[in-house]
Amino acid sequence: MWKFVSAGNSGGNPLLRSLNNNKGRQTWEFDATAGTPELRAQADRLRENFSTNKDTQHHSSDELLRLQCGDRIRAKKHAPPASEIPERLTPERVEAHLKGAISFYECLQQEDGHWPGDYGGPMFLLPGLIIALYTTGALDQVFTPQHKVEAVRYLANHQNADGGFGLHIEGGSTMFGTGLNYVMARLLGMGPDEDLAKRAREWMHARGGATYITSWGKFWLAVLGVYSWDGMNPLTPEMWLLPYSKWTGIGYLHPGRFWCHCRMVYLPMSYVYGKRGTCKETPLTAAIRQELYPMPYNNIDWNAARNQCAKEDLYYPHPLVQDVMWWVLYKAENILQGSFLRRMALAQCMKHIHYEDENTRYIDIGPVNKVINMLCCWLEDPNGTPFKKHLVRAADYLWVAEDGLKMQGYNGSQLWDTSFAVQAIADTDLLDVSAACLYKAHQYVEQSQVVEEAAPPLSRYYRHVSLGAWPFSTRDHGWPISDCSSEGLKAALRLATLPADKVGDPIPAARLYDCVNVILSYQNSDGGMATYENTRSFHWLEILNPAETFGDIIVDYSYVECTSACITALSAFLKQYPDHRRGEITSALRRAEAFIRSIQRPDGSWYGSWGVCFTYGCWFGVTGLTALGHNYHNDSAVRRCCEFLAVRQREDGGWGESYLSCQDKVYSQLDGDSHVVNTAWAMLALLAAGYHKVDPAPLHLGARFLLRMQQSSGDWPQQHISGVFNRNCMITYANYRNIFPIWALGQYRRLILLGEDEIRH
């Protein structure tokens, strides 16, 4: 049976370095002897159930994790009341639902204090891992037969009715998704004539074949040797030898100025490209070569293929300047390949790759560079320790649910979820049911703050300061993020206001000061905060974005979410530490406020870049302003946003936003029921604004919707996907369905039913 394993259990391996005994590490292991026959049968029923409904419900619900926590769930003390939800809600009634919700959610919490959860969604990640493992000959070392069964199950569950695969689990078919997942199916042992493979191939052939795959797809196919490197726009590694300084002008094109995810993906990609690192031909790769295209492989016009892209994949079409640039670089390849300059550039890339690996304990910043860095280490030395260290960290990205095995968008969202959970649970004021769980969560927050700076010199590796920051997932990952630092700080500050004998000792002030230092350092000249670093270049550089499916990947911009999180954290900090860097903090707050106001849309909303979508952005926009004393009564920006939200409330009392909002940048209503997460975000925004003092009716309706949706266990259902990146790719946040309803109902009870006045941010 598949078993979720958390933290320290996975220690002891000398190749697996950890700064804190693997706190937060999430892995799944197959143990043939685990569980009882009944449990195994139940897991199979959950799988069957998913497959039966897969065309209407694309999102899995972390049922296997819940199954594993079954004993705790059955033994828990509280459940929500079963009787019908009354017309008029009382504080006692909502309290009973909250107790049920908290005691359920506590059952999922791990010993180290974090909440695990599925962080899948994108469909282009696992194929990259499989291609890299196949190329390096390590597939069977990392993937047991059970891993393969679950990976194939995942494919079968997420193939669209038209035979293709999407960019993410809820999206329409794309060449990127279909080409890569087809190849993955074949590498996992599926025959070309099996139904899944046949239908996927037909989808591709009907659209011209795999030469129409996006540039990242071309890269992976070239690595496997089923696409020619001549059919790729060059990933010139020499860009790493450009001067960085602004004064040179060309310095603005240096990858060190790109958004760190973009830079860290193109770094190893350009190494592999520069080396033409390709899988040794096997009978299987030779067969795949012929299957991917409607014409014979040898007849393909590779030069033309460079710029081909299926219309289904085209979110950001190349502007003309890019085509010109690629043509020049394509010609330059003849000179650069094998030259002294190329050797220097490759050595430079490898230096940066090793730095990234070592400073993230081989987890790496994300799933894409993780896999390509691993491939680079193998290309450099197939028997070397770096490659081995990579292999043991592959498991950190894999997740198993009732829909199968998937690769996640990060090594988890541990710190992010735990910080929100702390704030949500603490905000209910129900310490008698939540003290033990807050105590453990406190440990996790403490244990995951970054207390060791990345290796010096930071500037040579284009790294921002990390000391004092909080990461998104684990301390071992360690990349600092503005809003994760802010949410971590807010969780720590909130816990410090609760009795230490119940929730544990507060984190020492000096460590909070370090965090404030990082947060302040994130402020850009426009007053806002970006994600991991400061904005280092210009928006117009986006014309160089070669990834047709993703928008806005070149530069780290200021975002409403990041900026608002920094505001709410700094203002909460000032309340507890009024004398620490007061002048700097107040001036940073003023500038951040001006930024948030400047990006409000004429209709009163804020566009959310990392969650779906306007409800998410509005929650951040509003709370950024209300933390500074503005509200519905005294501020027209807050008022306009409340009105934007109020008119989008639906018949059933909730809010429901489709992921299409993210790509189209226009509010898009969901089909069917409202969504508990969107409802909670909208309610949190309205409550923070004090809208209930003008009209509590929408909040009563929203609360009743949340209560109606709550299950008898205290859980909420998993509905549509809630996260997004780069405008177009969706990502799962499995914990949101528990955290945000608890948070919104807790505030609703306090501020409306109990009539309290204090809004906590």
Catalytic residues, which ones? 483
3-state secondary structure of 42: helix
The Cα–Cα gap between 204 and 219 comes to 17
Of residues 127 and 367, the one with the C-beta less far from ligand LAN: 367
CA distances from 656 to 143, 287, 718 (A): 39, 46, 13
Burial 569-601 (b: 16+ CB within 10 A, else e): bbbbbbeebeeebeeebeebbeebbebbeebbb
- Residue 105, both tokens: 């959610």
Q: What are the residues whose beta carbons fall under 8 Å from the beta carbon of 486, sequence distance 6 or more?
A: 519, 562, 565, 566, 568, 569, 570
Stretch that binds ligand LAN, among 133-141, 200-208, 309-317, 477-485 (CB under 6 A): 477-485
What is the rounded CA–CA span in Å between residue 664 and residue 501?
50
724: helix, coil or strand?
A: strand
User: Does position 418 bind ligand LAN by CB under 6 A?
Assistant: no
Site for ligand LAN, residues 231 to 270, rule: CB under 6 A: 261, 265
Q: SS3 of 740, please?
A: helix
- Residues 6+ away with beta carbon under 8 Å from 377: 353, 354, 357, 384, 386, 387, 390
The helix/strand/coil state of 407 is strand
Q: Residue from 170, 561, 593, 657 that binds ligand LAN (CB under 6 A)?
A: 561
CB of 404 to ligand LAN, least distance (A): 20
Give me the residues paired with residue 729 across strands. Answer: 725
Within residues 489-518, the interface with ligand LAN by CB under 6 A covers none
Q: Rule CB under 6 A: which of 111-140 touch ligand LAN?
A: none
Nearer to ligand LAN, 709 or 724 (CB): 724
Q: Which residues, at least 6 apart from 541, have a Cβ–Cβ distance to it below 8 Å?
A: 252, 253, 554, 555
Question: Could you tell me which stretch among 160-168, 390-398, 476-484, 512-520 binds ligand LAN (CB under 6 A)?
Answer: 476-484
Q: Tell me: does residue 481 bind ligand LAN (CB under 6 A).
A: yes
Residue number with CB closer to ligand LAN (20 or 726):
726
Between residues 472 and 716, which has the closer beta carbon with respect to ligand LAN?
Answer: 472
Task: Please identify, using beta-carbon distances, which residue of 411 and 719 lies nearer to ligand LAN.
Answer: 411
| Residue 751 DSSP code | I
Q: Minimal distance in Å, beta carbon 413 to ligand LAN?
A: 7
Residue 341 Cα to chain centre, angstroms? 37
Peptide bond into 86 cis (omega under 30): no
Instruction: Give the nearer residue to ligand LAN in terms of CB position, either 270 or 631.
Output: 270
410 binds ligand LAN (CB under 6 A): yes
Encoded tokens for 761:
């941010």
The CB-of-553 to ligand LAN minimum distance in angstroms stands at: 6
DSSP letters along 435-475, please?
Answer: HHHHHHHHHHHHHHS--SPPSSPGGGGTPPP-TT---SS-T
x/- map, 706-735, ligand LAN, by CB under 6 A: -------------------xx----x----
483 binds ligand LAN (CB under 6 A): yes
Residues 356-385 that bind ligand LAN (CB under 6 A): 366-368
Q: Interface with ligand LAN by CB under 6 A: which range of 130-138, 326-334, 481-489, 683-691?
A: 481-489
Q: How many residues bind ligand LAN (CB under 6 A)?
A: 21
Q: Which amino acid is at 670?
A: L
The number of helix segments (H) and strand segments (E) in the chain equals 30, 8
Ordered alpha helix ranges (H), 248-359: 260-275, 283-291, 302-305, 320-336, 340-359
* DSSP result, 659-687: THHHHHSS--BPSSS-BHHHHHHHHHHHH
Report the distance separating Cα 284 and Cα 191, nearest Å. 10
Among 50, 610, 614, 632, binds ligand LAN (CB under 6 A): 610
Distance of CA 622 to the CA centre of its chain: 23
Separation between Cα atoms, residue 407 and residue 428, nearest integer Å: 34
Question: Cα separation of 676 and 733, whole Å?
Answer: 13
Site string for ligand LAN, 519-558 (x = CB under 6 A): ------------x------------------x--x-----
- Provide the sign of the torsion angle of the four alpha carbons 3, 6, 8, 10, taken in this order: positive
Least gap, CB of 408 to ligand LAN (angstroms)? 8
* Residue 703: closest CA among 759, 752, 658, 646: 752
Task: Give Rg (Cα) of the chain.
Answer: 25
- For the beta carbon of residue 247, count every other beta carbon within 10 angstroms: 6
Out of 169, 210, 222, 484, the only residue in the binding site for ligand LAN (CB under 6 A) is 484
In the list 362, 472, 614, 616, the residue contacting ligand LAN (rule: CB under 6 A) is: 472
Residue located via tokens 């037969």? 145
User: In this structure, what token pair is assigned to residue 709?
Assistant: 């949706």
For ligand LAN, the closer of residues 16 and 662 by Cβ is 662
Position 69 contacts ligand LAN (CB under 6 A):
no
By C-beta, is 260 or 492 nearer to ligand LAN? 260
Closest to ligand LAN by CB, 434 vs 564, is: 564
Q: How many CB atoms lie within 10 A of CB 551?
A: 20
Rounded least distance, CB 473 to ligand LAN, Å:
9
Instruction: Please identify, using beta-carbon distances, which residue of 67 and 555 lies nearer to ligand LAN.
Output: 555
**Cβ atoms of 398 and 116 closer than 8 Å:** no
| Least distance to ligand LAN, CB of residue 261, Å | 4
Q: Given the complex with ligand LAN, which of 426 and 481 has the nearer CB atom?
A: 481
Would you say 678 or 726 has its CB closer to ligand LAN?
726
Q: How far is the CB of 611 from ligand LAN (least distance, A)?
A: 7
Alpha-carbon distance 678 to 615, whole Å?
6
Sign of the C-alpha dihedral, residues 645, 651, 655, 661?
Answer: negative
* Among 729, 309, 723, 407, residue whose Cα is nearest residue 550: 729
Of residues 126 and 368, the one with the C-beta less far from ligand LAN: 368
Instruction: Report whether 464 contacts 520 (CB < 8 A).
Output: no
State the residues that interact with ligand LAN by CB under 6 A: 261, 265, 366-368, 409-410, 416, 472, 481, 483-484, 531, 550, 553, 561-562, 610, 725-726, 731
